[in-house]
Structure 1
Amino acid sequence: MYLTRFRVNAHRREARHLLASPHRLHGAVNGAFPEPPAADGIGPRILWRVDHNARSDILLFIVSPSRPDLTHLVDQAGWPAATDAEGWQTYDYGDFLGALTTGSTWSFRLTANPVHSIRRKEGEPTKRTAHVTFRHQARWLLQRQEKNGFEILTKPAGRRLHIEGDEHQMIVRDHRPLQFPKASRDKQLNVSITKVTYDGRLRVTDPDLLRRTLTNGLGKAKAYGCGLMTLAPIG
């Protein structure tokens, strides 16, 4: 497994064109691999995420079973004339994943598509609907802790700002409803998703399950930049 970081040159028109559509960026990411793995949910897949840290500090992260070649992204959305580096950094992710141990604690970031299925009236098929409030978005992730191999750390009682809803070391931010076109054979579809970013601290409860989460993703809309969780040491 590999973890790749690519800095996007937001001053370029081509870069802004890619960032405006998760469908176009999905195609650009897949173009980095001669043979992308099947997205069947069985084995590791290609996951990606865009972090908007500041107006001119935009990073694309990719987790993948094979090493990518992002030359085309450098030409479109990077700094192709720079000669002191290839334009992206790829790291061997396997050693890090293999070293995860039960009880270790980490900072995490996850961009996800928190949804639930509802039925408006009896007899109707269920419809996938986005969670739109902080409380429900936070609950969506909390409900998925155990089966994904981690638990989000709780705050000491004296650091909680509210009686309910502020028990965990986690913030939910950057709520982004997105709508973009997607060509599908003989017609064009409009895709609607909601992206939410979670930042917080977690404890590993099952290293094998967490390794699967980090390489297979969490939640829906993985093709469109959702589902990638990354860990960092708690500083």
Structure 2
Amino acid sequence: MSSFPDLLPTAPGPRVLWRVDHNASAEVQLYVVSPSRPDLTHLVEQAGWPAAAAAGTAGWQTYGYAPFLERLDKGTVWNFRLTANPVHQARVKDGAPTKRTAHLTARHQMQWLLQRQETGGFRIAAKPRERQHTEHGDEHHLAVHAQRSLAFSKRGTPGTVTLTTVTFDGRLEVTDPDALRGVLTAGLGKAKAYGCGLMTLAPLG
């Protein structure tokens, strides 16, 4: 939030979404979707290469999102990535109040995402029938990886924040462009303040 001088961390308004991708041991990429252009100078100074940026190599890149969002059409197919916090409400014992609990198996995590297709304006693409292995839960173009259990303190709040995150990679078809635009700009699921909920699309190929 320090990248947005015009936004107060506690002020109501459009959500700032972010995600960190670890594509290789020496490569870390930060993606941000926000209502205004960020200034990431301080991040480059702390975790990047300021001298390279000063020499002309961009320390970060920003793009207007609206032109891309406006081009989303029903029926188009995209690769996607989403880091999320798949949870459900469960009771530890009869009569006890429900408690938000993380899904820990890949099959339940996939089901969590599949349950959000219709309202999210997308459909996870199915594999050709001859490549489906339904007993393993891989009948869709969908993979789950990078499960992480995080525990950290939150400034000004007693106790510890704990959450489980996973990354989904897959292929989707746009069924409702307006609903999908909402997912891409407002996020999907819980823990958006902690790097979850940002879905990105990429062309097939």
What TM-score, normalized by structure 1, do the two folds share? 0.82
Quote how far apart the aligned CAs of 1:38 are.
Answer: 7.1
Match of 1:92 among 53, 64, 77: 64
Where does residue 117 of structure 1 map in the other structure?
A: 89
Quote how far apart the aligned CAs of 1:183 are.
Answer: 2.0
Where does residue 167 of structure 1 map in the other structure?
A: 139
Match of 2:27 among 24, 37, 57: 57
Where does residue 74 of structure 2 map in the other structure?
A: 102
Deviation by residue 1:17-73 (Cα, 9 ceiling, x = unmatched): xxxxxxxxxxxxx00001327778x86310000000001111000000100000000
Deviation by residue 1:72-92 (Cα, 9 ceiling, x = unmatched): 001101101112134000011
Quote how far apart the aligned CAs of 1:123 are.
Answer: 3.2
Equivalent AA in structure 2 for residue 231 of structure 1: L
Match of 2:162 among 192, 195, 205: 192
Stretches of 4+ aligned residues off by more than 4 angstroms: 37-40
Partner Cα separation in structure 2 for residue 143 and residue 43 of structure 1: 27
Quote how far apart the aligned CAs of 1:180 are.
Answer: 1.1
Where does residue 150 of structure 1 map in the other structure?
A: 122
Quote how far apart the aligned CAs of 1:188 are.
Answer: 3.5
Deviation by residue 1:187-235 (Cα, 9 ceiling, x = unmatched): 5421101110000000000000000000000000000000000000001
Partner Cα separation in structure 1 for residue 4 and residue 84 of structure 2: 23
Partner Cα separation in structure 1 for residue 180 and residue 120 of structure 2: 5
Where does residue 229 of structure 1 map in the other structure?
A: 199
Contact 1:111–1:195 (8 Å) recurs in 2: yes
In percent, how many aligned pairs have the same letter? 61
Equivalent AA in structure 2 for residue 196 of structure 1: V
Quote how far apart the aligned CAs of 1:119 are.
Answer: 1.6
Contact 1:180–1:191 (8 Å) recurs in 2: yes
Q: How many residues align?
A: 203
1:108–1:167 Cα change, 3 Å: same
Partner Cα separation in structure 2 for residue 37 and residue 155 of structure 1: 45
Contact 1:36–1:46 (8 Å) recurs in 2: no
Match of 1:212 among 150, 173, 182: 182
Q: Unaligned regions of 5+ residues in structure 2, if any?
A: none
Partner Cα separation in structure 2 for residue 60 and residue 39 of structure 1: 22
Deviation by residue 1:114-158 (Cα, 9 ceiling, x = unmatched): 000112233322111100001100000000000000000000111
Q: Unaligned regions of 5+ residues in structure 1, if any?
A: 1-29
- Secondary structure of the residue aligned to 2:62 is strand
Q: After alignment, is 85-94 or 198-207 more displaced?
A: 85-94
Quote how far apart the aligned CAs of 1:161 are.
Answer: 3.8
Contact 1:43–1:216 (8 Å) recurs in 2: no
- Secondary structure of the residue aligned to 1:85 is coil
Where does residue 27 of structure 1 map in the other structure?
A: none
Contact 1:108–1:232 (8 Å) recurs in 2: yes
